[in-house]
Structure 1
């Protein structure tokens, strides 16, 4: 028997997806897991209408499965016992990141349009501009998110959020340049450094921390940020493994096109998740909520890419 990132006891056989989770054999352990799943799904369902309204108000075009997916991610990674209102900001942020990714990957959108959107978002992030009615929808939506995310945060946490948001934006622009062939292909190390930020795992986790209001969060950042970086690397590689066929057809660079083998990528995913969980154990064993958010984010996303997106 072992305890997982949600503090539930599990047993049975390995799921084989690199997360370290186990499939329950039935009995009391399964009952606890079932209650956790129902609580998470219930929270996610309550979040869906608000996210749809917000996306519609800001003119964001999304695939039909994105809104339920971001609501489930927020509920399970943030903790199914959280008030949906405390998770609303994260669902909006994740919706925005998916819309940004779709815009950047859209081969019918010219690179100038992508650059204009990203430069507008960077200006909003750095306080150099406010959103205008004529700005692209992604800029207007981001302008709604930034002050809500930074409201009341201690300076070190606010800085971490802004740094991750900036890295996501500049990294997305770089990835578009690689796809367009206007920048030389990156090395594997450069790709992973940028790709671990554009996958938005760290930005999601820090946004989830925003609603926790943990009094020691600033002091704990040195213990939280390195494992969070491991989580982001694991998720980036899991994303590449699941989406390689589709992204190769679109000309999108990923770790496999840069020479990493499937076996090596899978091994790195397992190692990064293990090292993330190991580093967080002194905190997660005491139920420290921001640390639990990090581990859940790694396990949730790796599992999702391995199951839901596999082969798509």
Structure 2
């Protein structure tokens, strides 16, 4: 008899692709394991008529799946890392971070015209306050339209909403096989990716060594370190995935390279910090956050979050 493991996942085409991918890797590495999927609808999936930034609350795309983990109706959960709150429920942990797909954002044009050449007033669709803020910083004449839905729904909205184009995460577009629709990949110096973008997080219960031993072998050490740095930055900033801030880390030749920024939703001011060097944990993420706070990022965040905004704990995570 094969041992069965059940993955909790959202039901979108992208979420299912990601869960099936993880299942295939587990089964390939251990043929004695059979992996099943359990589709769970999250609050973020149910509310489709409002921008994510206005819905509020953390764990919009993870809470119900985490509840299933705690209730033991699933054995592990597969999330897009950028959807995972920095603070997890008691009893749960991120057991593995898989190797990152392309972390960049992409522009998909209605007629093949490049983003740099769009006329003033062109309508660009995005669900992300971060993307909106970076776009307006560089192209203040654009008209940014909020769109929600899965990847293929947003692609259809180019026509139905009369958009000049949309901005999406490259990872989802590539995973679903829509690469032929990409007009351009956006440089990370201009459009800094969301924290964790392109990485898959595998969440398990604590003190569940049998499941953890299976999952931990899927971990990619360099991606895990980079994501840890990015999430330490986010935690210190006291924000969630719908706040106009970003941090992106890469590792090469033993050193990490980090770009981090906080930007006003209207595009200005934009505060940016960078770091290059050797580190072993996420502490540099905290340091970058503290530097930006000292430069005035707190005033930007208070306009987005609330007047009583305070930095989060200065602790390492993941």
TM-score by length of 2: 0.27
TM-score by length of 1: 0.27
Structure with more helix by fraction: 1
